[in-house]
């Protein structure tokens, strides 16, 4: 019988445990056992009831909020003391989340909102830290010695209202994190050095003035972001307040800032007037205000002047080696500001217009470095979106980035732009990493550099670092749909489905018209084995943009694997093989249209990684046709084009080599490649699926079905292919109960 009651809950997890397993599985298991022994002893001392283990953490129930809080502090204290005496390789850090809520007891487990909220807030804790809700705080704030600080209000999945989350300041942590709220009513004390420059108000209806005002906002953000010790929210986040007014207090909570700069711009043909004021979020009082009347050609000088005033007001000092802001002729500045305005839209039309404006700015002032950085950024996005031939676009991006660096070696945007070129055209991750790190060093508030660096880290198999870097991008630009969606992609690929969906939904809430968000949600639903929901999301994406090729591919894939292959074929025909050949190749293989797949030409318009995946798909088709020598040649070709030993494609190539060798009657070679899959150092959810395929090819169906079950637990993306995988034909044809059980778990009809 179900029992409902109010409980204090604690959820813990080890920071970076997946990466530890990948690096040294035996050591990771030893550390997990030590962690479990230590935590269980502390739980007993505080009357904690262990509900269940969560792999690398615990869900624990307590009879009182005070027991839960004291236990959490003791856990972190014990781990802190242990880590001080341990080498770096044996350090164990955990995150802890605490909440009091209503739960339902059933069969030894607990369910309900209380559990859900605890699981939502726990990831907000820093490594080695504790976070809690106001339900805990209200009962313990005057009973524990550790101070509490607010982390602001957070939107948690499936909750209608934002929830305030607090952090426990442990004795060894920096007491300057925030003033203690112990001994009185809690209050928000955000950091004043975290600043939001709100969109300046344009006085006048002339569109030219709107472009100028938006550009002035962006350039102020850039100027302030170069001030040492100041963290400035990016333009993509603050521009959402242009059409959704909020109070200073609301903005402070939503962006996590302590100071807001706001103002207005009035401009005529030759002069402009700027009113600005700096407001303290905690008190909503003015820290500083001023008015600037200048000629249009003095725009960058005024930006510098305002930045210096704000820096002085916040008692910060400028970077000694910081160079003065670039100056340029007024028409060139205006063209550049218009270019950034259009670039931020990220649409095909917007990018074309942005490129036109950046080129105009460079023509008007050939010494203006930001114009060339803008061109490089635009070419890179054109290549990424498939709007321009990748080789041509990246070559032009490289030329523009190098020109920007010649004019201004300290321009962060130029270093980040060069990183994109070396990452996607040169396939040189080490050089790309150096470029991104240099950009971040020059401007820690440049959100795009953090975002692009996170994508590189993910490609290199450094998932934990990638997620950390993407979190920095979100913190820098918490209301940017691009940044949020990018982090969602990383979370989805890491198997953290609910967190990924939360990021996608937040991006959609900020900008309902954001390009590609429904296609991302459709891909997410595939990973969750929710086939009908995937179709619905993909249909919405295609309705908004009939040329959304990712959404088209999702629709075709779902139809192909759910027994509606004839309906899938018209959708496959809508995929232009020149831009995303891997989509077309994958779907042709799912439909077993092998002659068409093998006849696909190599497209010069496609990015190199797309071409490598096409060769891989051809290799799988050749294996199915028992043309093994041709299959090995195609796999070698794919590997030569990919050139990354730790990539997802490299893992699949090794797996398919093992499959082909088993089917060709070469077990010794197959076992060698299977071992390389087992030793693979990169992070990948696909490994159990690959091991299952190898087992089926090698005549080990029991192991194959065990690996498929493990793959389901890991939510491996490949699993949607189970209903059409040729290696499973014998089990499908004779309705093997093991096969049917897998199909049911995946949500397919038997």
Alpha helix locations (H) across 98-153?
113-121, 134-140
Strand partners, 293: 273
Q: What share of the chain is helix, strand, coil (3-state, %, to 5)?
A: 60, 10, 30
Which of the following CATH numbers is that of domain 194-325: 3.90.1170.50, 3.90.1150.10, 3.30.300.30, 3.40.50.10610? 3.40.50.10610
Nearest CA to 336 out of 314, 369, 305 is that of: 369
CB 592 within 8 A of CB 569: no
pLDDT at 75: 92
- E strand or H helix at 574: none
pLDDT at 320: 33
pLDDT at 158: 67
CB 35 within 8 A of CB 94: yes
Half-sphere exposure of 284 (CA within 13 A, CB side): 8
Rounded to whole angstroms, how far apart are CA atoms 74 and 5?
26
Instruction: Name the phi and psi angles at 525, rounded to 5.
Output: -65, -30
DSSP 653: H
Paired tokens of 132:
């809690």
CATH fold of 3-177, please?
Alpha-Beta Plaits (3.30.70)
* Distance set, CA 550 to CA 184, 479, 524, 576 (Å): 53, 24, 12, 12
Per-residue pLDDT of 173-183, as tens digits, reads 754 444 333 33
pLDDT at 226: 65
CB 129 within 8 A of CB 96: yes
* Distance set, CA 166 to CA 112, 133, 136, 252, 684 (Å): 22, 6, 10, 16, 34
pLDDT at 645: 67
Q: What is the 3-state secondary structure (H, E, C) of 291-353?
A: EEEEEHHHHHHHHHHHHHHHHHHCCCCCCCCCCCCCCCCHHHHHHHHHHHHHHCCCCHHHHHH
**What is residue 400's three-state secondary structure?**
helix
Half-sphere exposure of 7 (CA within 13 A, CB side): 28
Distance of CA 489 to the CA centre of its chain: 5
Residue with tokens 């060894």: 172
How many residues in the chain? 750
Domain limits, the chain: 3-177, 194-325, 564-745
Strand partners, 149: 167
CB atoms within 10 A of CB 174: 7
DSSP 602: P
Phi-psi region at 86: left, alpha or beta (left = phi > 0; alpha = psi -120 to 50): beta
Instruction: Name the phi and psi angles at 710, rounded to 5.
Output: -65, -40
Per-residue pLDDT of 4-22, as tens digits, reads 788 899 999 998 888 888 8
Q: List, in order, residues 6 or more apart from 2 with CB less than 8 Å away.
A: 104, 105, 106
At the top level of CATH, which class does the domain 564-745 belong to? mainly alpha
Collect the ranges in the chain with pLDDT lower than 50: 175-189, 315-327
Burial of 207 (0-12, 13-18, 19+ CB in 10 A): exposed
pTM assigned to the model: 0.60
pLDDT at 307: 60
What is the sign, positive or negative, of the torsion defined by CA atoms of 594, 600, 602, 604?
Answer: negative
CB 634 within 8 A of CB 666: no
């Amino acid at each position: 019988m179900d029992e409902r009651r109010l409980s204090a809950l604690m959820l813990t997890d080890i920071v970076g445990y997946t990466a530890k397993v990948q690096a040294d599985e035996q050591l990771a298991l030893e550390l997990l056992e030590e962690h479990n022994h230590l935590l269980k002893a502390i739980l007993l001392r505080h009357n904690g009831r262990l509900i269940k283990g969560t792999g690398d953490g615990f869900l624990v129930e307590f009879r009182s909020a005070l027991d839960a809080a004291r236990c959490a502090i003791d856990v972190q204290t014990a781990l802190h003391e242990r880590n001080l005496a341990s080498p770096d390789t044996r350090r164990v850090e955990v995150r802890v989340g605490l909440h009091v809520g209503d739960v339902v007891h059933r069969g030894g487990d607990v369910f309900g909102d209380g559990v859900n909220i605890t699981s939502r807030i726990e990831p907000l804790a820093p490594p080695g830290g504790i976070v809690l809700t106001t339900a805990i705080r209200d009962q313990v704030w005057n009973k524990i010695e550790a101070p509490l600080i607010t982390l602001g209000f957070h939107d948690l999945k499936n909750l209608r209202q934002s929830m305030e989350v607090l952090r426990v300041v442990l004795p060894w942590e920096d007491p300057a994190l925030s003033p203690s709220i112990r001994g009185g009513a809690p209050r928000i004390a955000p950091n004043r050095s975290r600043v939001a420059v709100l969109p300046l108000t344009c006085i006048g209806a002339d569109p030219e003035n709107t472009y100028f005002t938006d550009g002035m906002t962006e350039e102020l953000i850039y100027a302030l972001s170069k001030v040492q010790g100041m963290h400035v929210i990016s333009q993509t986040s603050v521009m959402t307040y242009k059409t959704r007014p909020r109070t200073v207090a609301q903005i402070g909570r939503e962006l996590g800032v302590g100071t807001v700069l706001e103002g207005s711009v009035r401009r005529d043909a030759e002069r402009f007037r700027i009113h600005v004021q700096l407001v303290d979020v905690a008190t909503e009082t003015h820290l500083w205000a001023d008015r600037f009347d200048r000629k249009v050609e003095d725009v960058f000088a005024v930006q510098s002047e305002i930045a210096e005033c704000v820096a002085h007001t916040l008692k910060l000092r400028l970077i000694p080696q910081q160079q003065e802001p670039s100056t340029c002729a007024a028409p060139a500045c205006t063209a550049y500001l218009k270019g950034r305005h259009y670039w931020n839209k990220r649409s095909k039309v917007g990018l074309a217009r942005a490129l036109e404006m950046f080129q105009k700015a460079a023509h008007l002032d050939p010494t203006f470095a930001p114009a060339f950085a803008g061109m490089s950024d635009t070419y890179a996005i054109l290549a990424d979106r498939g709007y321009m031939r990748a080789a041509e676009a990246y070559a032009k991006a490289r030329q523009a980035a190098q020109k920007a660096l010649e004019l201004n070696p300290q321009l962060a945007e130029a270093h980040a732009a060069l990183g994109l070129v070396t990452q996607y055209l040169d396939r040189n991750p080490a050089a790309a990493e150096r470029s991104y790190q240099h950009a971040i060093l020059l401007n820690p508030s440049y959100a795009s550099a953090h975002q692009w660096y996170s994508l590189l880290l993910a490609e290199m198999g450094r998932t934990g670092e990638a997620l950390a870097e993407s979190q920095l991008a979100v913190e820098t630009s918490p209301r940017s749909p691009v940044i949020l969606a990018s982090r969602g992609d990383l979370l989805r690929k890491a198997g953290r489905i609910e967190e990924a969906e939360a990021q996608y939904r937040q991006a959609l809430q900020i900008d309902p018209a954001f390009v590609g968000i429904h296609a991302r949600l459709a891909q997410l639903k595939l990973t969750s084995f929710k086939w009908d929901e995937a179709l619905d999301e993909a249909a919405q994406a295609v309705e908004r943009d009939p040329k959304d090729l990712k959404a088209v591919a999702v629709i075709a894939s779902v139809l192909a694997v759910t027994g509606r292959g004839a309906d899938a074929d018209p959708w496959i025909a809508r995929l232009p093989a020149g831009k995303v050949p891997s989509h077309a190749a994958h779907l042709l293989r799912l439909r077993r249209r092998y002659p068409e797949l093998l006849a696909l030409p190599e497209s010069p318009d496609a990015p190199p990684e797309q071409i490598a995946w096409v060769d891989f798909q051809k290799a799988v088709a050749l294996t199915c046709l028992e043309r093994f020598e041709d299959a090995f040649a195609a796999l070698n070709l794919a590997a030569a084009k990919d050139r990354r030993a730790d990539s997802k494609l490299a893992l699949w190539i090794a797996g398919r080599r093992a499959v082909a060798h088993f089917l060709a009657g070469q077990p010794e070679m197959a076992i060698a490649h299977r071992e390389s899959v087992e030793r693979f150092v990169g992070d990948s959810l696909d490994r159990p699926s690959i091991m299952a395929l190898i087992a089926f090819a090698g005549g080990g169906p029991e192991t194959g079905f065990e690996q498929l079950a493990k793959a389901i637990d890991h939510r491996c993306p490949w699993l949607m292919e189970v209903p059409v995988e040729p290696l499973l034909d014998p089990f499908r044809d004779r309705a093997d109960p093991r096969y049917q059980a897998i199909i049911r778990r995946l949500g397919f009809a038997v």
